Structures are given as C-alpha cells and as structure tokens.
Structure 1
Amino acid sequence: MQLMKYSPLAVLVAGLMTSGNLMAGEWHTVTARATAADGYEVRASQYRIVTVSTDFLAALKGGERRLTLPLPDGKEVTFSLQPYDLLPADLAAKYPDILAFKGYNEAAPGETGRFDLGPQGFHAMFSH
C-alpha cells in the first residue's frame, strides 16, 4: 500500500466493515511504524497501520456515511462521508466494487479527507 507524500496523517486498513456508526474499537494495530522493507511506503509525519475484520466495512457499501477511525496517538476521530466520483462513468460501471468518499471531521469540519474501498481494502488519507 502506498500513501500520497503530502498526507499529514494517514491510516491504512486492509479489510471491510459492519454496523451502524462504524466505530474505532474494531480496529487493531499492526504497527505504529513501518518501513519499505515491511512492504509499506509511508511518507506521513504520523501514521498507524491497522486491520479490521473483513466484514466490518460492509456498512459503507450499504450506505453508512459516518466512520470512526483510530488515530496514531490512540484517540479516534469521526468523519461524515459523501460518495465521491473518483472514476470516470465507464470505469465506475466496469469496477462497481471501487467506492470513493470525501469527508470531514464532525468535531472540526475544516479537517477533511479522502477515503476509498475496493478489492485492495480500505484506504484513508486525512488531515487532523
């Protein structure tokens, strides 16, 4: 997995979701630091790599639009999400399993991010 180099904070997730308000308690830390030798190229000032059960993110596919994510310092943040047309219409029709969202921190709306869910798992890049 690779993050964009300008991301000030990032959370990587390999997995999928389940319930109403998708809570951070379902996430489990893989490592607080990773290197290219570990298979990760991360260029963020703070990050934490986490996993979640394979059915946890299914609620995003089902229309859930609130997502609580873990932060590198152990705290959590809740984002309100909106679907985002990342792919051109013909590619979106060809790959319906790829979903993209833009969102904002409910406690601090100036903090925004981009989120995607697809065959490679879930990815989030956001400022906090």
Structure 2
Amino acid sequence: MAQTQEAYKKAVSTLFSSLDRVESHLASTSNSGPYYYGGSITEADIRLYVTIIRFDPVYVSLFKTNKGMIRFQYPNIHRWVRNLYWNVPAFKDTTSFEHIKGHYFMSLTMLNPSGIVPEGPVPDILPLEERVNGA
C-alpha cells in the first residue's frame, strides 16, 4: 500500500507496464494458442488468471489502479481471460465474483472503512463472443 503520491505513481506505472508486456506477449505471432504459452495451459495461465480476473471488479476501484480496465484497454488479455473462464470449466467453477468482491471490499477496512461493495462492473465478466470498444 503506497504511503505517498510518489510511491503510488511508481507502483501504478510499474503495474501498467507489466500489463502492457502481457498484452504484447498475447498479441505476438509467436503465441500460437489460446493460452499464455500457446496450446497448453501452464502455471503461468493459472497464476496470471487469479490477478486478471480480480482486476476490473476490485483492483481498479479499491487499489486505485484506474488508469485502465482489462475489458477496455487490453483486448488480448481480455480475450485470454474470457477464454479461460468460459471454455475451461476449472476456472469458471472456482471463480466467485461475489466472494472476491465481498472479501476485498469488506476485509480491507483501511482502504474501505465503510465496507461498501461496489455494484459494478456489470456483468463481472463479458461473454466470450461479445466485442468491446476501447475507451
């Protein structure tokens, strides 16, 4: 948790630089499959999924990482996470947006003393076939 504006700015810049690298990797022609390293799910997919699936519903507002949202600014990451959620049952079956949002917004009282859980984004994750225009 950043204690100064300067620390926050540095952390947010680092985070979005990392998202830019992930976006570029997923866009590259050397990535010949629906998963991070091609045609097979790897540990990288699992580890990245747990962060990306929480990004728009929690991190954007609670952690003030609001320079962009996955669904609007990162089309390749968005396509990748939706593919995992909708096409690989293990991901969808173990993802509870209600629990994710409730846990973060109600337990981090320093960041959210009122315990209010935001309504959006709605829907939590878009259907796989839906196209999204960038903001």
**Fold shared by both chains (TM-score > 0.5):** no
Q: TM-score, normalised by structure 2?
A: 0.26
Higher strand proportion: 1
Mark the structure with the bigger radius of gyration.
2
Q: TM-score, normalised by structure 1?
A: 0.27
Higher helix proportion: 2
